[in-house]
Each structure stands twice: as structure tokens, then as C-alpha cells.
Amino acid sequence: MTRLTRSVTTAALAVTSALVLAACGGDKGAPADSAAAPAAEPAAAPAAAAPAAAAAPSTEQLVAIGKEKYGQICATCHQQNGQGLEGNFPPLAGSTWLLGNAEVPISIVLNGLQGEIEVNGKKYNGIMSPWNSLSDEEIAGVLTYVRQEWGNAAPPVLPADVNAVRTRLGERGMWTAEELKKTYPGAGT
């Protein structure tokens, strides 16, 4: 390999890595104290809840909304097939973190996740940025979609569920798996 070829290859790898990390939230350093974690860019402006007078969307509408948003945001890390990226971004297919108590994935999407987590018997150690800039309906849509895709069969998540968790949690730093287990007994099992 010539020096020029190595330089071009190295530059291409650096650009590709930066794009993947930025899309998955990995360009933000993991804070030592999750309570002091800064908000990620996507979380800069929380979206207002849907007006109370609006009718709740049907499961089919939520799945359609969720499938679109998942493709735009989540698939970069968790992949189109829901299998994630080995060691960094866990699979959503068959994940007990996703399929159990709906408040667990709602909390993760709203506030992000950092540090080691075990999913389907394998350990992952990446960072998921908070996505609380998405509306309650968009988060409900994404979670309904992934809870019913790739062989998953969990109940839908409603925008009111997301709003209730958003209101209860308020502003906080990223979660760790251990914090989720303490807050939601049975999470991840």
C-alpha cells in the first residue's frame, strides 16, 4: 500500500466513523455522573404534548408513524432488522428491556442510556442520546412499531403513556442499566 493510499483510506475511515458516532449519539462523551449528564442536541427543546382534545391515534397509525421515524433515526444504530451492532448498540428484536414494562423503553428514549447493558445474553456498551425532542406521538409510534416488529409481540404504547413518563421524570441525565433496574424492578429480565 502506498503512503497516499493509506492516507486516503485512513481519512475515509475517520469520516465514516464520525458519521456513525454522530448518528448514534456516540460523539458525546459519557459523563461520569448520570445525574449531571448534559442534554444531547436532539433533546434541546422538548416537544409539547398533543392537545387533550385530539383523539388518540390507532395502533395502525402509531405503527406507520413509528416505522417512518425508526428508519430516519433509530435504524442507524439498531439496524433495519432490529439486530443492533455487536458490542455497541443492542438488538431490539427479543429484548426484554423493550418488551416488558413500557415505561422502561419510554424512559430510555426520553432520557438516553449510557454504560454497559446486557441484552439477550450479550453485553453492549454504547451511548443512546435522549430523544425527548420527539413528540409524545412520535415516541409512542416508534415504541409501538419496535414492540410489534421482528417477531416482537408487546402491547402498543400510547402518547398518553409517554406524556405521563415525561411529566413524572422531568429533566434528568441519561440512565444506566442499574438505575433502570432500581427504578423499574424486573427491567431487563
* Band of residue 111 on the pLDDT scale cut at 50, 70, 90: very high
For the whole prediction, is pTM greater than 0.85?
no
Mean pLDDT of 88-102: 97
Query: pLDDT band for position 52 (50/70/90)?
Result: low
User: What pLDDT sits at residue 45?
Assistant: 44
How distant, in Å, are the alpha carbons of 10, 75, 106 from that of 130? 31, 15, 10
Per-residue b or e along 19-46, where b marks 16 or more CB atoms closer than 10 Å to that residue's CB: ebbeebbbbbeeeeebeebebbeebeeb
Strands 122-128 and 113-119: antiparallel
**Would you say 135 and 166 are in contact if contact means Cβ atoms under 8 Å apart?**
no
Our CA dihedral for 181, 118, 177, 154, rounded to 10 degrees, sits at -60
Per-chain mean pLDDT for the chain: 81
Q: Residue 13 pLDDT > 80, yes or no?
A: no
Residue of higher predicted confidence among 59 and 42:
59
- Number of other residues whose CB lies within 10 A of the CB of residue 149: 17
pLDDT at 171: 86
Whether 109 contacts 131, CB under 8 Å: yes
Q: At 17, which helix (H) or strand (E)?
A: helix 3-24
Question: What pLDDT sits at residue 11?
Answer: 38
Split at pLDDT 50, 70, 90, the class of 55 is: confident
